[in-house]
C-alpha cells in the first residue's frame, strides 16, 4: 500500500518527441545538462497525472514549463518533486519502522504465550471450572447408576435361578425321592418272577450269561456286575437268590433257577458263626456283606465247591456262578428263616 501511494504521489514526466530539425533547449542555450532542461510535455485534461498534480495543490499544477536556465520555474518544479519524493521516502521509512515495531511486538507476544504455556504444562492441568465439575459429577453419577442396574439385573437373575432350582429340588426331594424311599427295598404289590423289591435295577429281571475262562482260581473271587442299594447281607441271615452255575473252563451250565422260575432261600455265614454250612463253602462266605439287589459273579475253586474229585452227579473243579441277591431275612429263635423281605 505504501509503495502504491508513493507511485501515485510521484509526478510522472512525459517527454515530447522533438520533430526532425528542431534543436533542444540545451543546444539553443549552448549548455549541457543538468544546467539545461529538456522540454517536457504536459498532461492532457482527464489524464490521471493531470488530476494527480491538481490534487497536490496550487503552484504545482500541470502545464508547459518555461524553458529557462537554473533558478527558473523548472527548477522549482524539480524541487517540489524532490520534496515529494523525500516525503514519500520518509513516509515509507516511518511505515517500515512501524511494521518492524509491530513485528517485534508480535514476536514478544508469541514468546510470552509460549512461556505461559510452558509454565502451565509444568504446573499440570488447569483446575476445572464449576460447570466442568458439575458435568463430571453427572457423568460419574450416570456410570454409578448403570453399574447398580447391571448388578441388580445379575442379582435378580441369580435369585430367579435359585428359586427355580429350589422348586425342582423340592419336587424331587418331596416327590420322586420320597416315593422311591417309600417303596425302596419293599416287596412289590404284585407277585412276579423274579420278585424284585422296590427300587432294584430292572436288569435283574434278565437271565445272565456265563462265559468260560482258563483263569486259575485258588480262593473265592467276587466280581460285582450290578450293585445293590438295599441293606447288606449279614452272617446267619437267609437270602433269596436267583442263580446260574457252570464249569469255569468250558462255561457249561449245570444248574439254574431261571428255567424253574423260582428263587431259592439259603442260610449264609454259618461257618463264621461256628456252624456247619448248609451250602457249598464258596456261597456261605461269598455272599455275606453284599447288598440286597446285587448281581455278583463268584469264581469258586474246587476245594470250596464239590472238590476236584466230585461225587457222581456233581461238577468237579473250579465253578463259576452268577447270583442275584433279591432279599434277606433274619432267622428266628429256632434257627429257621423268619421270612423274607425288608
| DSSP notation for 238-280 | EEEEEEEEEETTT--EEEESTTTT--EEEE--TGGGTS--SS-
**220 and 299 share one domain:** yes
**223 and 308 share one domain:** yes
Question: Which residue, 94, 122, 156, sits at the end of a domain?
Answer: 94
Q: Which cell numbers hold the place of 202?
A: 430292572
DSSP state of 232: B
For residues 260 and 125, the model is more confident at 260
The per-residue pLDDT of the chain, averaged, comes to 74
In a domain, 192, yes or no: no
Q: What is the pLDDT of residue 20?
A: 53
Average of pLDDT values for 258-269? 95
Domain of 323: which CATH number? Answer: 3.10.50.40
Measure the CA–CA gap between 222 and 231, rounded to whole angstroms. Answer: 18
Q: Cβ neighbours of residue 202 under 8 Å, at least 6 residues apart? A: 196
Q: Cβ neighbours of residue 211 under 8 Å, at least 6 residues apart? A: 251
Whether the predicted pLDDT of 238 surpasses 80: yes
**Residues 254, 245: contact at Cβ < 8 Å?**
yes
Measure the CA–CA gap between 53 and 261, rounded to whole angstroms. Answer: 150
For residues 5 and 246, the model is more confident at 246
CA quadruple 254, 259, 260, 264: dihedral positive or negative? Answer: positive
- The pLDDT tens digits for 141-193 are 999 999 999 999 999 999 999 988 888 777 766 665 555 566 678 887 677 89
Q: How many domains does the chain have?
A: 3
Q: What is the pLDDT of residue 120?
A: 53
**166 and 255 share one domain:** no
73: containing domain: 2-94
In a domain, 123, yes or no: no
Count of helix runs (H) and strand runs (E) in the chain: 7, 6
In a domain, 296, yes or no: yes
Q: What is the pLDDT of residue 29?
A: 58
**Residues 230, 185: contact at Cβ < 8 Å?**
yes
What does pTM read for this prediction?
A: 0.49
Q: What is the pLDDT of residue 68?
A: 38
In a domain, 100, yes or no: no
Q: What is the pLDDT of residue 89?
A: 45
**320 and 255 share one domain:** yes
Per the rule left: phi > 0, alpha: psi between -120 and 50, beta: everything else, 147 is alpha
Give how far the C-alpha of residue 100 lies from the chain's centroid of Cα atoms, to the nearest Å: 63
**42 and 159 share one domain:** no
- What is the residue whose three cell numbers read 473265592? 220
Whether the predicted pLDDT of 24 surpasses 60: no
In a domain, 227, yes or no: yes
DSSP state of 202: G
- Decide: helix, strand or coil at residue 221: strand
- The strand pairing partners of 328, in sequence order, are 239
Measure the CA–CA gap between 172 and 166, rounded to whole angstroms. Answer: 10
What letters, b where the CB count within 10 A reaches 16 and e where it falls short, cover 53-87? beebeeebebeebebeeeeeebeebeebeeebeee
Q: Cβ neighbours of residue 313 under 8 Å, at least 6 residues apart? A: none
Q: What is the pLDDT of residue 98?
A: 54
**Residues 328, 314: contact at Cβ < 8 Å?**
no
DSSP state of 323: E
First to last CA, the chain: 125
Whether the predicted pLDDT of 70 surpasses 60: no
Q: What is the pLDDT of residue 73?
A: 44
- The pLDDT tens digits for 294-341 are 999 999 999 999 999 999 989 999 999 999 999 999 875 444 444 443
Count of other CB atoms within 10 angstroms of residue 205: 14
**206 and 304 share one domain:** yes
**213 and 301 share one domain:** yes
**Residues 290, 296: contact at Cβ < 8 Å?**
yes
**309 and 220 share one domain:** yes
**Residues 10, 85: contact at Cβ < 8 Å?**
yes
Q: What is the pLDDT of residue 168?
A: 79
- The pLDDT tens digits for 83-129 are 444 554 445 554 445 554 555 566 666 666 656 655 555 556 778 89
For residues 232 and 98, the model is more confident at 232
Measure the CA–CA gap between 23 and 20, rounded to whole angstroms. Answer: 9
Amino acid at each position: 500500500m505504501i509503495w502504491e501511494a508513493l507511485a501515485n504521489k510521484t509526478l510522472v514526466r512525459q517527454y515530447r518527441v522533438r520533430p526532425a530539425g528542431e534543436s533542444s533547449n540545451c543546444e539553443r542555450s549552448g549548455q549541457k545538462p543538468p544546467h539545461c532542461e529538456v522540454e517536457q510535455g504536459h498532461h492532457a485534461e482527464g489524464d490521471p497525472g493531470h488530476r494527480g498534480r491538481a490534487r497536490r495543490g496550487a503552484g504545482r499544477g500541470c502545464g508547459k514549463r518555461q524553458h529557462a536556465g537554473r533558478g527558473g520555474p523548472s527548477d522549482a518544479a524539480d524541487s517540489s518533486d524532490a520534496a515529494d519524493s523525500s516525503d514519500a521516502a520518509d513516509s515509507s521509512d516511518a511505515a517500515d519502522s512501524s511494521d518492524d515495531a509491530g513485528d517485534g511486538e508480535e514476536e514478544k507476544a508469541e514468546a510470552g504465550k509460549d512461556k505461559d504455556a510452558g509454565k502451565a504444562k509444568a504446573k499440570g492441568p488447569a483446575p476445572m471450572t464449576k460447570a466442568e465439575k458439575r458435568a463430571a459429577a453427572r457423568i460419574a453419577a450416570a456410570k454409578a447408576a448403570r453399574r447398580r442396574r447391571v448388578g441388580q439385573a445379575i442379582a435378580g437373575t441369580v435369585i430367579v435361578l435359585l428359586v427355580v432350582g429350589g422348586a425342582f429340588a423340592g419336587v424331587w426331594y418331596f416327590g420322586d425321592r420320597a416315593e422311591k424311599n417309600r417303596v425302596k427295598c419293599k416287596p412289590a404289590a404284585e407277585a412276579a418272577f423274579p420278585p424284585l423289591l422296590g427300587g432294584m435295577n430292572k436288569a435283574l429281571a434278565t437271565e445272565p450269561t456265563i462265559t468260560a475262562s482258563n483263569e486259575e482260581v485258588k480262593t473265592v473271587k467276587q466280581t460285582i456286575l450290578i450293585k445293590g442299594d438295599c441293606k447288606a447281607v449279614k452272617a446267619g441271615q437267609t437270602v433269596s437268590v436267583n442263580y446260574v452255575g457252570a464249569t469255569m473252563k468250558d462255561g457249561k451250565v449245570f444248574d439254574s433257577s431261571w428255567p424253574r422260575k423260582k428263587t431259592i432261600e439259603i442260610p449264609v455265614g454259618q461257618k463264621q458263626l461256628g456252624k456247619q454250612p448248609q451250602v457249598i463253602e464258596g456261597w456261605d462266605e461269598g455272599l455275606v456283606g453284599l447288598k440286597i439287589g446285587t448281581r455278583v459273579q463268584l469264581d469258586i475253586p474246587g476245594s470250596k465247591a464239590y472238590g476236584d474229585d466230585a461225587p457222581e452227579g456233581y461238577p468237579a473243579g473250579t465253578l463259576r456262578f452268577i447270583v442275584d441277591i433279591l432279599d434277606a431275612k433274619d432267622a428266628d429263635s429256632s434257627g429257621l428263616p423268619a421270612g423274607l423281605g425288608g
